[in-house]
Amino acid sequence: MSTSPETVEKQAGRGFKRIVYSREEIQRRVAEMAREITEAHRPEDNLLVLGLLKGSFIFMADLVRSILLPLQLDFLVASSYGNATRTSGEVKLLYDPEASLQGRSVILVEDIIDSGTTLNQLFPLLEARGPKSLEVCALLHKRVAQLDRPVRWVGFDAPKEFLVGYGLDYSENFRHLPFIGSI
């Protein structure tokens, strides 16, 4: 038995305040961002797309499949929370990328920029590895963070609501949804 994407979205959307970005809106914007990244780089840039896990994995998968350049990808896991519910302000790398950043054009892919704590502390750690360039591509930006550097590519300005879906979670739930909703 096959279920249409519209049916999945309707069933999964129950209990949500609203669907903020539909599957179609996300697909359209991710394709636009991939075109922008393709136009901003050359094949000889030795492009490395570095995903910040876990939230970026779905976005990053769709993004890299639409970038029309040779590239490599890797991931990192960073935490500023530990076992607390509030950020400690100190970022620890829990998983370090295996790929070398030296002399490469690196795009750090983030699901959502909220406080900016993680990004602000990751910049110097990654810069110390000698990339030719280090840019950020974020699906969502709440525009409340004081970032040490601008975000080059932003999918959507996010409302100040708790969002889930398309990689974003609440207690590890809802990441699989093809849309972004507010709960």
Give the whole-angstrom CA distance, residue 15 versus residue 121: 36
Q: How far is CA 115 from the centre of its chain?
A: 14
Let me know: does 71 contact 41? Beta carbons within 8 Å: no
CB neighbour list of residue 117: distance below 8 Å, 6 or more residues apart: 80, 87, 89, 91
Active site (annotated) includes residue 114: yes
Q: Is the dihedral of CA 26, 28, 34, 37 positive or negative?
A: negative
Tokens of 37: 């990244």
Catalytic-labelled residue, pool 62, 74, 114, 148: 114
Q: Known catalytic residues?
A: 114
